[in-house]
Structure 1
Amino acid sequence: MGLVLTTLFASHAIGLFHIRFITQLDNFIYDARLRATMPNTVDDRIVILDVDENSLKMPELGRWPWSRDKMAQIMDVLFDKYQIKSLGFDVIWAEPDTSSGLGILKRLAKEDLKGSPEFGQAVERLAPKLDFDKIFANSLRDRPIVLGYYFNSNKDATEIGALPDPIFFKDDLANREKYFSLRKGFGANLENLSFEAPMAGHFNPTVDTDGVIRRVPMLAEYKGDYYESLSLSMYRLIIGLNSPEDKGSVGKMPQRIPGAKLLPLGNNEPKGTGPILPIEGIQVGSTIIPVDKGTNLLVPFRGNRDRGNRDSFAYISLGDVFAGKVPVEKLKGKIAFVGTTAPGLADLRATPVSGLYPGVEIHANLLAGMLDSKTIPFKSEPPFSTFLELVGLLVIGIVLAVLMAYLPALPAAILFVVSLAAAVATNVMWWQQGYALPLAPFLLLIGLIYFSNVAYGYFVESKNKRQLADLFGQYVPPELVDKMAENPLQYSMAARKHTLTVLFSDVVGFTSISEKLTPSELTEFINEYLSEMSFVIRKKGGTLDKYIGDAIMAFWGAPIDDEDHATNGVLAALGMHEKLQELKKAYKEKNWPDINVGIGLSTGPMTVGDMGSVIRKAYTVMGDAVNLGSRLEGITRQYFVNILVSEETMQATKGILFRDIDMVRVKGKDNPITIYEPIAEIAKTNAEVQQKITTWNEMIKSYRLQNWSDAESKLHGLIATDSNNKLYQLYADRIAFFKTNPPPTDWDGVTKFETK
């Protein structure tokens, strides 16, 4: 199975077929790691001029898109008043501006009013003031401005506007291994705007299959030529590589737009000859921008907007800029992008850091990354990542497939954890070196190989369990089989002596209860009672020995060793009493008789093992301590309490509050024992309850010392708080009797029981 999985994952790595879940998980891991490692800092070099809701509502600007004369005014304000460093547009101006009415006037001059030369002359005089597109174009001239545009991949796409010159021609990438999306059309700016603006860049992102933008292509191919992105164009503009004098080259390959070249460099082969080399990066000046074979660059997001961090870049309302409300120092010398956060303009994108992320901020992050690239390198997806992924998957898959098949469960689990840790550590090491390599395929392959082996082992183990159940099911309760199957050699049915805790419970007056119920009601009654009590016992790790009518026998400490067998046994008894209160309410609603239960527990050496006849055997316990537990259950009625435990049980427990009940000599025992009633876990009792128990135990000491007056005084104080307590009344009667009929001088304070 491991080798089959390895083959599948290797095929996915080299692209023979696509396993969508692997890609989805890898995207999830990349996104989580990106969010965890983002600096969450503000870049004060870049500002975003936001066409926000406030700007769209300003009457002086009108409806969007604003008239080009208003845009020209904004250009003048930005560069003359605010003295920004450069400006990039995440919007396009593809259609002529007709808001001035110049076109209508010209048509009237040529048609309806062509007989009025005065009208025609007036139109000619007004034309320079009403040609808003030309006014806007003039405002772009000789200013560091980069226009934006987009390519369209739809089959019915058209060409709108005028593209800028490409950065590379078809032959420039003849010797490069490249993978570009097919573009069928574009939406660009008006020709006069494109002519006047010094540069332009596309703002097409790469959208992954889950609809999330993680990378942007630095180059887009259209009809064999290659066009740069908005962020790359902005960067070249900022560092001054946008003039014809700045020539660059790749071997003997001339550059249409200077200042950029592809890496790695070839050996100066003529175009179309020599080896086909992968594209590893784009060099702009002294900066190397690492890209993949589609020239995609991972976006170095700075902060997480979904967690309230909106300030990776300062957002300034473009309407406020137009109105002059923004202090000059907020914009002076800044790199600016014009974009929008208005939902109605539909430029909100899904990214790893937010489901509604302004598209303009993607370009701002890319530009910030380019400016910081010498100190904070980009994360890249290098061309050798496929090779590393393939080799890694083959090595890990084959090694694990072989080892997992032979290793026991614990070493296999350790190998699984170590393999996961090694895969993560290796991936983190590459990440720290600037490479974003796949991690999900390795984690999935390791996990699937391990869990497939676990599943196979479980199948084999289940088979062994069935065999074990067939072999031992007649001897031990079914719930023990699973435990024993984990290590069959550790357990034996042979009798052994061990210190355990045994519990006996019995329904008080069950005979009279059964007489008041129909057979079907009695069946339902006893089944529900035994089930609920058994659940409590099993929850505390007890071994259900047997049911004897309405009686239950259980023990702790075998066959599974339990250091806290006494504590767990007493907690089970308390839990049974608590569950009984719920049953009493349910039985009352059914008009069934009330139910009370006595429980006795004893701790001590017992013989445990497979005992019985040749006809039937059972895994059970025997011994004096077992008999004592049964006796204690029987005398709970004498003291009007629900639970009694031996002194050995009390001493072996932890964290439980007990009340000293009496010293007794049960039938069949010569030596007296002290018996106790467990009240509750100490941590769950308040100071008032603890004080009552302390007073009671002091009363018992006075009673045994025959200090009747002190014992009576303390007891009367307790009776005052609970006059209906029958145990209190029992001792009140005893003290009153002994005060008038003093016990013999050899009286040891022991109560003797002659019956079981």
Structure 2
Amino acid sequence: MFSTFKRHTWRMLTGLLLLIGLLLNTAGVYHIPLLDRLEEIAYDTRLRFLMPNTVDPRIVIIDLDEKSLKAEGRWPWGRDKVARLVDRLFDDYGVAIVGFDVVFAEPDESSGLKVLQGLAQSRLKGIPEYQSAMRELAPQLDRDALFAQHIRGRPVILGYYFTSRSGQQQAQVSGVLPEPIFPPGALGDIRLQARSMDGYGANLPALQAAALDSGHFNPLHDPDGVNRRVPLLLEYQGGYYESLALLMARHFLGVDFVELGFPDEEAMAAGYTAIEWVKLGDIRIPVDKEFATLVPYRGGQGSFPYISATDVLHKKVDPAMLAGRIILIGTTAPGLMDLRTVPVGTVYPGVEVHANLISGILDNNIKERPAYVLGLELALLLFNGIAIVLVLALLGPVTSLLFTLAVLGANVGFNLWAWQNINLVYPIASVTVLILGLFAINMVYGFFFEARTKRRVAGLFGQYVPPELVEELSEHPEQASMEGDSREMTVLFSDVRNFTNLSEGLTPIELTRLMNAYLTTMTRVIHEHRGTIDKYIGDAIMAFWGAPLADPDHARHGLAAALAMQAKMKELREEFPKRGWPAMRIGVGLNTGVMNVGNMGSEFRRSYTVMGDAVNLASRLEGLTKEYGVEILVGEHTRDALPDFVFRELDRVRVKGKDKPVAIYEPLGLQDKVAEEVKAEVARFEQALADYRAQRWDAAETGLKALAGQHPEAKLYQLYLERIAHSRAEPPGEGWDGVFVFKTK
């Protein structure tokens, strides 16, 4: 495993650099704007996917829509008409509370009272009848006073807005602000991190004095211009002022005061002073560092009942729709410029933003994004990053894709679970970018770098080993070395019997075709059994197992290949004569042992080959197959490596160039596949061989003649009968070890 990690060092280092970069962004060392945009997209996607898409009948919007403007005249309406609207809502429909998403910043002069008062002070000053009529009509024509009179003593919340000075521009103020919920100095040394404002546009003093309260309706736009949050408190000259939605929810619930979620003493002592929530009675509203809360949009436009203001004025509404309801008076008319871009729509009435927030407060269902999610994001980045960097180095392309999808699915699933079940909003964009980025790095690395490695490996070994071994070597290129090495392996030699005589009757073209067909067939068999072709020596083939890729079953694969080669030769002996070619037979020698393997040769020509005594013995064994009349001969180390095979010991020989005698064996097949009569024949030969080595010539001869009578085609038995006859004529003596010495290769 260490070698695998070492092979993927650059891939892993690149992945770690991506991880470090994202960690530094999360920690605030530097800023990647793209991640903010992706996070906004992810937030909007979750919101749209998981919002309930239901209508909340508790909050009703009285709409200053196109229908109302057409019926009642353009906005602003006379305050007498607005007063009549308020009367209808409370007196005729029994609503619970009314909030205005509009500002009454300028006096209503539509009645002409100001002109009439000017006449009373000038040209008509001396006319008593006029003065008397003015005193009687003035209260009815003072529409601001009339409106103030109609909202006084009723739960009516007015709206206003704050402004922030831009550059050197002078801050503008108009109207009168309500009393702040937290006057300057009320919080002692604690200063809330609410946005500080420089000016405002508020209601007329008489209206402000008559109303139950007033709340700001400032939106809070994210950098992309989308209204996802509403500031519950804004700061102006040291005082903190409530939003319209917070005020309406508070008064509807009968809560007199807003409770702040101060950190505990230990946290404050450590310098942590951020307030993460406010409370209205038992309802907890989470806020962020700007004292803003996420708007819990229920769905697209129309998540609350809309009623045209003109229908209320003319009593065309079912009272059941309004009785006891929270009323917001606002507009959807495009000309009145109260349309916003929100996560659920690009053209969305601002009044419905307040309705969504009030609904979420009443349901105690506001999503929170507390400061500690920074630590959670860092932890997720570290855990996912390190895990993916380490694991992807061990996987192939398909498993890498499946693993990446599983990790991404787990992160997204947990994020959605936290959103839906505990109202926790924590970042997902950085983790998603990390997961996909690491996957992309691995894929790009695999495409550009591992493809080059595979081409190099294929170039080195493609002519020697089968494609599947080339693929394995590509996955483990550290094993694909052509440097010299010494290891235990199995080597095979095969040769065509009497090839010279067979080839004499063929033209050069026929001989070429014959050899191509034969060598291709035998090479395919060797490749199918994971063998490496060393070389072709005329009609001979040399192959080995255990390099370049280590193979703990090299002896088994080598013997399986030898048996398969002989089986394939039987098919070729039937096929070749049909093409006019001679039937061929081959002998195969197989031996297992320690040998040297590597790219050997001269500076002019090199070959990936094996060398050593074990290799030489395999070559001698191939030559001895003719002497014993068998198709395959193996050495004793090969026999020892395959205890589940049946072998017949043929002899102990001392081959040319070797002083130490070796036992040689003929493989007959797997234990459970060899017939019982064959096993019995092997046992009888073993007894005859033991008698032969003990110089019990008569017993050995009797056993061998019986075997030869049953198997007259077997050269082996005739060979030993000839040796017995020779030994009788020239006894080997008492010190004879039963070893036969071959003087030639």
Q: Normalization by structure 2: what TM-score?
A: 0.58
1:447 to 409, 432, 436: 436
Give the Cα–Cα distance (whole angstroms) in 2 for the partners of residues 327 and 138 of structure 1: 27
Q: Secondary structure at the match of 1:66?
A: coil
Task: Report the CA distance shift for 1:92/1:27 in structure 2 as closer, same or farther (over 3 A).
Answer: same
| 1:3 aligned residue | 16
Deviation at 1:365, TM superposition (A): 1.1
Give the Cα–Cα distance (whole angstroms) in 2 for the partners of residues 137 and 208 of structure 1: 37
| 1:318 aligned residue | 309
Task: Report the CA distance shift for 1:239/1:389 in structure 2 as closer, same or farther (over 3 A).
Answer: same
Contact 2:46–2:416 under 8 Å retained in 1: no
- Residue identity opposite 1:300 in structure 2: P
Deviation at 1:94, TM superposition (A): 0.7
Give the Cα–Cα distance (whole angstroms) in 2 for the partners of residues 435 and 42 of structure 1: 23
Q: Percent identity among equivalent residues?
A: 44
Q: Secondary structure at the match of 1:294?
A: coil
| 2:51 aligned residue | 38
1:145 aligns with 2:156: yes
Contact 2:58–2:325 under 8 Å retained in 1: yes
Q: Secondary structure at the match of 1:277?
A: coil
Task: Report the CA distance shift for 1:116/1:425 in structure 2 as closer, same or farther (over 3 A).
Answer: same
Q: Secondary structure at the match of 1:43?
A: coil
Contact 1:42–1:313 under 8 Å retained in 2: yes
Alignment of 1:96-115 (within 5 A): 96-115=107-126
1:400 aligns with 2:388: yes
Q: Secondary structure at the match of 2:367?
A: coil
2:450 to 461, 464, 470: 461
Deviation at 1:118, TM superposition (A): 4.3
Give the Cα–Cα distance (whole angstroms) in 2 for the partners of residues 426 and 351 of structure 1: 25
Task: Report the CA distance shift for 1:472/1:194 in structure 2 as closer, same or farther (over 3 A).
Answer: same
The CA deviation string for residues 163-196 of structure 1, in whole angstroms up to 9 with x for no partner, is 1111113434455574333322111111111110
Deviation at 1:150, TM superposition (A): 1.1
1:92 aligns with 2:103: yes
Give the Cα–Cα distance (whole angstroms) in 2 for the partners of residues 46 and 6 of structure 1: 47
Give the Cα–Cα distance (whole angstroms) in 2 for the partners of residues 346 and 46 of structure 1: 22
5+ residue gaps, structure 2, are: 1-13, 481-522, 525-532, 539-577, 581-745
| 2:246 aligned residue | 232
Task: Report the CA distance shift for 1:397/1:129 in structure 2 as closer, same or farther (over 3 A).
Answer: same
Q: Secondary structure at the match of 2:200?
A: strand
Deviation at 1:426, TM superposition (A): 3.0
Give the Cα–Cα distance (whole angstroms) in 2 for the partners of residues 613 and 116 of structure 1: 139
1:67 aligns with 2:56: no
Give the Cα–Cα distance (whole angstroms) in 2 for the partners of residues 105 and 138 of structure 1: 22
Q: Secondary structure at the match of 2:61?
A: strand
Give the Cα–Cα distance (whole angstroms) in 2 for the partners of residues 4 and 173 of structure 1: 45
Task: Report the CA distance shift for 1:401/1:465 in structure 2 as closer, same or farther (over 3 A).
Answer: closer
Alignment of 1:652-667 (within 5 A): none
1:430 to 418, 426, 437: 418
5+ residue gaps, structure 1, are: 242-257, 492-557, 560-608, 615-667, 671-756
Across the aligned residues of Structure 1 and Structure 2, the Cα RMSD in angstroms comes to: 3.9
Deviation at 1:5, TM superposition (A): 1.9
| 1:364 aligned residue | 355
Contact 1:280–1:382 under 8 Å retained in 2: yes
Q: Secondary structure at the match of 1:424?
A: helix
| 1:539 aligned residue | none
| 1:216 aligned residue | 230
- Residue identity opposite 2:164 in structure 1: S
2:373 to 365, 377, 385: 385
Task: Report the CA distance shift for 1:2/1:483 in structure 2 as closer, same or farther (over 3 A).
Answer: closer
Deviation at 1:265, TM superposition (A): 5.6
| 1:29 aligned residue | 42
The CA deviation string for residues 465-518 of structure 1, in whole angstroms up to 9 with x for no partner, is 55368669999xxxx9x9999779999xxxxxxxxxxxxxxxxxxxxxxxxxxx
Give the Cα–Cα distance (whole angstroms) in 1 for the partners of residues 178 and 269 of structure 2: 29
Larger Rg: 2
1:286 aligns with 2:282: yes
Q: Secondary structure at the match of 2:119?
A: helix
The CA deviation string for residues 678-717 of structure 1, in whole angstroms up to 9 with x for no partner, is xxxxxxxxxxxxxxxxxxxxxxxxxxxxxxxxxxxxxxxx
Give the Cα–Cα distance (whole angstroms) in 2 for the partners of residues 66 and 613 of structure 1: 108
| 1:262 aligned residue | 260
Task: Report the CA distance shift for 1:21/1:240 in structure 2 as closer, same or farther (over 3 A).
Answer: same
Deviation at 1:407, TM superposition (A): 5.2
- Residue identity opposite 1:119 in structure 2: Y
Q: Secondary structure at the match of 1:57?
A: helix
1:302 to 298, 302, 323: 298
| 2:605 aligned residue | none
Deviation at 1:279, TM superposition (A): 0.7
Give the Cα–Cα distance (whole angstroms) in 2 for the partners of residues 17 and 234 of structure 1: 40
1:131 to 138, 142, 150: 142
| 2:338 aligned residue | 347
Give the Cα–Cα distance (whole angstroms) in 1 for the partners of residues 322 and 225 of structure 2: 34
Give the Cα–Cα distance (whole angstroms) in 2 for the partners of residues 472 and 275 of structure 1: 66
| 1:495 aligned residue | none
Give the Cα–Cα distance (whole angstroms) in 2 for the partners of residues 231 and 389 of structure 1: 31
- Residue identity opposite 1:217 in structure 2: P
Give the Cα–Cα distance (whole angstroms) in 1 for the partners of residues 286 and 203 of structure 2: 29
Task: Report the CA distance shift for 1:274/1:470 in structure 2 as closer, same or farther (over 3 A).
Answer: closer
2:30 to 11, 17, 40: 17
Q: Normalization by structure 1: what TM-score?
A: 0.57
Alignment of 1:612-627 (within 5 A): none
Q: Secondary structure at the match of 2:306?
A: strand
Give the Cα–Cα distance (whole angstroms) in 2 for the partners of residues 18 and 123 of structure 1: 67
Contact 2:454–2:471 under 8 Å retained in 1: no
Task: Report the CA distance shift for 1:265/1:443 in structure 2 as closer, same or farther (over 3 A).
Answer: closer
Alignment of 1:403-414 (within 5 A): 403-405=391-393, 408-409=396-397, 412-414=400-402
Task: Report the CA distance shift for 1:173/1:395 in structure 2 as closer, same or farther (over 3 A).
Answer: farther
Give the Cα–Cα distance (whole angstroms) in 2 for the partners of residues 331 and 428 of structure 1: 36
Task: Report the CA distance shift for 1:473/1:185 in structure 2 as closer, same or farther (over 3 A).
Answer: farther
1:76 aligns with 2:87: yes
Q: Secondary structure at the match of 1:463?
A: helix
Give the Cα–Cα distance (whole angstroms) in 2 for the partners of residues 474 and 114 of structure 1: 120
Deviation at 1:208, TM superposition (A): 1.1
Q: Secondary structure at the match of 2:214?
A: strand
Deviation at 1:299, TM superposition (A): 1.1
Q: Secondary structure at the match of 1:422?
A: helix
Task: Report the CA distance shift for 1:77/1:294 in structure 2 as closer, same or farther (over 3 A).
Answer: same
Give the Cα–Cα distance (whole angstroms) in 1 for the partners of residues 371 and 188 of structure 2: 17
1:335 aligns with 2:311: no
Task: Say which is worse superposed, 41-50 or 13-22, in terms of deviation.
Answer: 13-22
Contact 2:276–2:370 under 8 Å retained in 1: yes
Q: Secondary structure at the match of 1:98?
A: coil
Deviation at 1:107, TM superposition (A): 2.1
Give the Cα–Cα distance (whole angstroms) in 2 for the partners of residues 486 and 28 of structure 1: 41
Q: Secondary structure at the match of 1:423?
A: helix
1:167 aligns with 2:181: yes
Task: Say which is worse superposed, 162-171 or 227-236, in terms of deviation.
Answer: 162-171
Deviation at 1:215, TM superposition (A): 1.4
Q: Secondary structure at the match of 2:185?
A: helix
| 2:202 aligned residue | 188
Give the Cα–Cα distance (whole angstroms) in 1 for the partners of residues 252 and 113 of structure 2: 37
- Residue identity opposite 1:198 in structure 2: L
Contact 1:153–1:183 under 8 Å retained in 2: yes
Task: Say which is worse superposed, 126-135 or 453-462, in terms of deviation.
Answer: 453-462
Contact 1:177–1:293 under 8 Å retained in 2: no
- Residue identity opposite 2:414 in structure 1: T
Task: Report the CA distance shift for 1:170/1:424 in structure 2 as closer, same or farther (over 3 A).
Answer: farther
Give the Cα–Cα distance (whole angstroms) in 2 for the partners of residues 464 and 352 of structure 1: 48
Q: Secondary structure at the match of 1:301?
A: coil
1:207 aligns with 2:221: yes
| 1:555 aligned residue | none
